[in-house]
Structure 1
Amino acid sequence: MMKILISGFEPFGGSTINPTEQLIRSIQRESIPGVEIRTVLLPVYFDDCVDLLVKEIENFGPDAVISCGLAGGRRDITPERIAVNLKDIAPDAPYPDNKGAKPQDMPINPDGPDGLMTKLPIRKMVNRLKEQGIPASISYTAGTFICNNTMYGILDYIRRKDVPVMAGFVHFPASAEMADEHPDWPTLPQETLLQGLRVIVQTTVDELQHMSKGTP
């Protein structure tokens, strides 16, 4: 049985909704033959997000980890290419993490590399999303907030422990339900976001199956 761990986040920055929280609750109820899906809701706290996700990896032993986050202002579903070794919130940023932390110029791991690349098949994901008419593109910056912290932390854990896990991060646009709170943000229907996550999960499963068979 193949195991896929999917994470989402609680609301933050004054919003009452985070579409990735709804995504993981929905995907948990779905069934993919031969695949066990487990989900985890992460806090919007620097480093605590990574600690909780690492515990889930150690308890569940997944073949792949797909971390999901909200990128308000983006129009596409955007799998991230790279995470950087930096926690940084500008003094005039509109919000801190949910504990009030505003780190500046701080490495996530002082002994880690400057950047770590995703292990997910992001090009295939984007191509498949586009084939289904879902707006998608590869992103080359996950920012320096909690999403980047989560992506870097998990990839760094995999690197240090030499764990055979395919992992990475995907940003989702705001859902249509958030339009009242953020009228200037582009939105997509929650069902479109969910269909996008289905495509992302299936693409990951297919890639794992190809790898296990030695298929290029």
Structure 2
Amino acid sequence: MTRVLLTAFEPYDRWDDNSSWLAVIDFTSWYEGNLEITTRRYPVDLGRTQRQLELDLQQDFDFAIHLGQSPGSPLIKLESVGLNLRTDGEPLISDGPTAYRSPTDLHDCLGRLLEAGIPAEVSHHAGTYLCNATLYLSQHYSEMMGRKTRSVFMHLPLTPAQVARERLAMSSMSTPMQSAAIALVAEGLAAHDA
């Protein structure tokens, strides 16, 4: 059985909810497929997230699917590259590689999402904050520990409720559509790996 670590983030700043965690909650309420899913909600704090991620990856999952909220994005972004870079310009790992490319077939994942009518794209820059750090560190720890885990990072739009609550003129996507995207990506990775 394919084992998947599925992570999201807690609310932060002005946001009372985090679309990534809402999607995980929804996904786990209906998913009955053949994947063994372990979920985690990470704090919006680099040091604490880094420690928890390293601990979680010791379990040697087949895949780690990391989710993050992307205010203003009109679609799901499949991040292809994690940079060894913090927001202050310092490296995440002082002697680590400059970057890690996601070792998964993101274009197959993209095709599955688009075929299902879910707006998505492959993105080549996950920023320099926690989302980028999570993708980079996930692959770094897997390699350093000799684990087989392959990592994916999905940036999710805000939900309609988040946009309405803040009275914003911003793009959004329903939580059920986001959780369907999680299932399509997870099942696609497992099928591609079989």
- Hey, what's the Cα distance between the residues in 2 that align with 1:47 and 1:125? 30
Which residue of structure 2 lines up, in the alignment, with residue 15 of structure 1?
15
> TM-score, length-normalised on structure 1?
0.85
Equivalent position amino acid for 1:85 in 2:
N
Q: Is the 8 A contact 1:40 1:53 kept in 2?
A: no
The CA deviation string for residues 40-84 of structure 1, in whole angstroms up to 9 with x for no partner, is: 0000101321221221222x4311100010111111111101011
Q: Is the 8 A contact 2:65 2:154 kept in 1?
A: yes
Pairing of 1:12-51 with structure 2 (within 5 A):
12-29=12-29, 30-33=31-34, 35-51=35-51
The DSSP-based 3-state class of the residue aligned with 1:158 is helix
Shift of 1:37: 0.7
Q: Kindly indicate whether residue 153 of structure 2 is the aligned counterpart of residue 169 of structure 1.
A: yes
Which residue of structure 1 lines up, in the alignment, with residue 102 of structure 2?
118
Report % sequence identity.
23
Shift of 1:161: 2.0
> TM-score, length-normalised on structure 2?
0.94
Equivalent position amino acid for 2:7 in 1:
S
Q: Is the 8 A contact 1:87 1:105 kept in 2?
A: yes
Which residue of structure 1 lines up, in the alignment, with residue 179 of structure 2?
194
The CA deviation string for residues 89-118 of structure 1, in whole angstroms up to 9 with x for no partner, is: xxxxxxxxxxxxxxx121100101111101
Pairing of 1:125-144 with structure 2 (within 5 A):
125-144=109-128
- Hey, what's the Cα distance between the residues in 1 that align with 2:49 and 2:184? 25
Q: Kindly indicate whether residue 166 of structure 2 is the aligned counterpart of residue 181 of structure 1.
A: yes
Runs of 5+ consecutive residues of structure 1 not aligned to the other structure = 89-103, 210-216
Q: Is the 8 A contact 1:24 1:40 kept in 2?
A: no
- Hey, what's the Cα distance between the residues in 1 that align with 2:94 and 2:101? 18
Q: Could you say what the CA RMSD is over the residues aligned between the two structures, in angstroms? A: 1.3
The DSSP-based 3-state class of the residue aligned with 1:187 is coil
The DSSP-based 3-state class of the residue aligned with 1:72 is coil
Which residue of structure 2 lines up, in the alignment, with residue 92 of structure 1?
none
Shift of 1:182: 5.7
The DSSP-based 3-state class of the residue aligned with 1:65 is strand
Q: Is the 8 A contact 1:155 1:168 kept in 2?
A: no
Equivalent position amino acid for 2:18 in 1:
N
- Hey, what's the Cα distance between the residues in 2 that align with 1:82 and 1:162? 20
- Hey, what's the Cα distance between the residues in 2 that align with 1:47 and 1:79? 24
